[in-house]
Amino acid sequence: MRILLFGLCLITPPAIQGQKGGGAGDPALPGRWAAGISLGSWSFGDASTGTDGEGNRLRFRPYRPTMWGLAAHIGRSGFRAGLAARVGDPGLAAQGEEVSESGLVSGPLLVYDGAYRLVALTVMVSERIARVHGGPSIRGVLGFGLERWTPAGESGKTIGAALAGVGLEIQLSRRWVGTVGGEVGYTPASPFQGRHLPSGFRTTGTWRRALTAALERRF
């Protein structure tokens, strides 16, 4: 993903234009509707913490799912509104910390793959904030939605989520557009259920980061 962004910077003229309306050289996007697919990698912060019987701190968090998605939106170059559905299988990661003479020392990271099925439905709005002259557009994104976390073979838990991000949009042809970007998201409730955790552990809200690539067609 970083290599792609670096390459785009090398081959694209450096003049940047702010977005307010069309502007000279602004490509005419056909139709107001677009739909496409996405592929992303998500990483999470701690979702539960506590101590074991020996007083060592333990941390649990969802582990790096690959998220496949479908999305549709309405709008052309400026403001857009849309809906995205994404699905993946996060693992469950556990890591301990113990106190030594040099301070806190992290133990090995233990991962149970495919511990959950995650389905995320998000309503998003975006606005073009700048455009590289004659080239890609830079768009800001805000979104709110619901996430359904289902442990293997058990009932799931639904939590709210919010996200903000920025993306580099590249018009590949008159109707096909590609995007690469990053997101930061937050869920005020932990995806974990207390009955799945050791006694005395507390659940916490969770931050996440995402890198995503998408391909869409305009109609």
Q: Mind listing the pLDDT tens digit for each residue in 128-163?
A: 999 887 789 999 999 999 999 999 889 999 999 999
Structure tokens at 30: 């056909």
Residue 156's φ and ψ, nearest 5 degrees, are -100, 180
* Closest residue by Cα to residue 170 from 128, 202, 142, 124: 128
Q: Is the pLDDT of residue 211 over 50?
A: yes
Q: Mind listing the pLDDT tens digit for each residue in 71-101?
A: 999 998 899 999 999 999 999 999 988 766 6
* CATH number, residue 177: 2.40.160.20
Residue 108 falls within a domain, yes or no? no
Q: Mind listing the pLDDT tens digit for each residue in 21-63?
A: 444 445 556 789 999 999 999 999 999 999 877 777 899 999 9
Residue 57 falls within a domain, yes or no? no
Domain that holds residue 187: 2-10+25-47+65-90+115-218
Helical spans, DSSP H, in the chain: 2-11
What's the structural domain count of the chain? 1
| Alpha carbon of residue 181 to chain centroid | 9
pLDDT of residue 19: 43
If you ran DSSP here, which 8-state letter would residue 102 be given? Answer: T
Residue 79 falls within a domain, yes or no? yes
Residue 30 falls within a domain, yes or no? yes
- CA–CA distance from 186 to each of 123, 156, 163, 172 (Å)? 15, 19, 6, 32
Model pTM?
A: 0.83
If you ran DSSP here, which 8-state letter would residue 7 be given? Answer: H
Residue 75 falls within a domain, yes or no? yes
